[in-house]
Amino acid sequence: MLEPIQPGPPRAIRNFAGRQRWSDLTFLHWPAPVSRLQLPPGLQPDLWEGQAYIGLVPFLLSYRGLGTFPETNLRTYVIDQKGRRGVWFYSLDADRLAAVAGARLSYGLPYFWARMSVTRSNGSIHYRSTRRAGPQRETDIVIKPGAAIAKPTDFEHFLTARWRLYALRFGRLIQAEVDHPAWPLYEASVAECRQTFLDEGRPLIAHYSPGVDVTASWPGPI
């Protein structure tokens, strides 16, 4: 049975790992042919009206002991063999080496160490990133948050409200869960979007959120 799309988590975290703060998030999305999505066995694309989406999400992450630092992830949306919805990350860049090493080891996530910044000016937010090692990737993105979205649509929840991540650790598919309040979503206009993660130009869809406090679980088997 397919898990419903919903603005809140389907259940409370059972295997508590820690708390984080995600702030100044921008969700940039492009439609993508299903044939382009590379997924491990056990996962299939989660589609909206037959269409797959790829997201590029820059933000600030705050974690006790590591401080606050920028992160950017490249992702798509998936369904596991039990019908549960989640996120598959193609890559995650972070400007904190300890976080990169820890997430690679404990969660099996494809993190990379990058030189990054998030700055505000004249009501706009500027995200910059250059990877220090691994396949070269860069971003130079400027967005301007707009009006608050009083009642997000099911499609907006589909793109942003994800309560589970999947990863390959030592060749085995694992999962972890997250719990946080419903996203406060805002419209966003993209003034500049230069990035080398995807061949596409400007994103078709953009949303902004000032952020939420997040609880995460330890990873475990599917």
Tell me the pLDDT tens digit for each residue of 132-161.
989 999 999 999 999 999 999 999 999 999
Strand partners, 62: 21, 68
Global pTM value: 0.96
Confidence of residue 11 (pLDDT cuts 50, 70, 90): confident
Q: Supply the DSSP symbol for 81.
A: T
DSSP 39: -
Q: What is the rounded distance in angstroms from the CA atom of residue 26 to the CA atom of residue 126?
A: 10
Residue type for position 149: I
Q: Which DSSP helix (H) or strand (E) runs through 88?
A: strand 85-94
DSSP string, 5-24: P-SS-SS--SSEEEEEEEEE
Residue recorded with tokens 């990133």: 129
**For the chain, which residues make up each domain, given as ranges?**
16-217
Rounded to the nearest angstrom, the gap between the alpha carbon of residue 48 and the centroid of all alpha carbons in its chain is 17
Q: What is the mean pLDDT of the chain?
A: 96
| Strands of 11-66, DSSP E | 16-32, 43-45, 52-63
Superfamily for the 16-217 domain: Acetoacetate decarboxylase-like (2.40.400.10)
State the residue for tokens 């406090």: 213
CA torsion sign, 187 to 192 to 197 to 200? positive
pLDDT in tens, 202-218: 788 999 999 999 999 99
